[in-house]
Amino acid sequence: MTKIFSIPVRVYYEDTDAEGIVYYANYLNFAARARSEFLRNKNLKVENLKDGERCGFVVRHVSIDYKKSAFVDDLLEVTCEIKELKNSSVVMTQNILKDGEILASLDITLVYINLGRHRPTRISDEMRQVFV
């Protein structure tokens, strides 16, 4: 649907375990950072796009395939690619790479919800244009 968006991410000591290897849960943090930058790059403020109501994306499902480790001081590339846009959700693939080699691959489903009611809500036409 969209071209692949990416950001650079440096691995800091705080991202690693005692061995200097990136702690497995931090790959989720790197992916979340890339998704936030993807939306920022599109000049999209998720909240307040639906008739003055606060809405936002929440993670419904994520699966991660860890292929290789990243280490302290590595410079990574984290990508976002929209695979499917539904009425109230977005399916995305994200990869975390070092020197073009995939270290981890994520498939993630985000649901667009009304933050006050905590219920899924339709993605507005304005926002849909950002994803195509």
Catalytic site positions: 17
CB 95 within 8 A of CB 105: yes
- The amino acid that residue 29 corresponds to is N
| C-alpha 75 chain-centroid distance | 18
User: What's the CA gap between 110 and 116, in Å, rounded?
Assistant: 17
In terms of phi and psi (left: phi > 0; alpha: psi -120 to 50; beta: otherwise), the region of 100 is: left
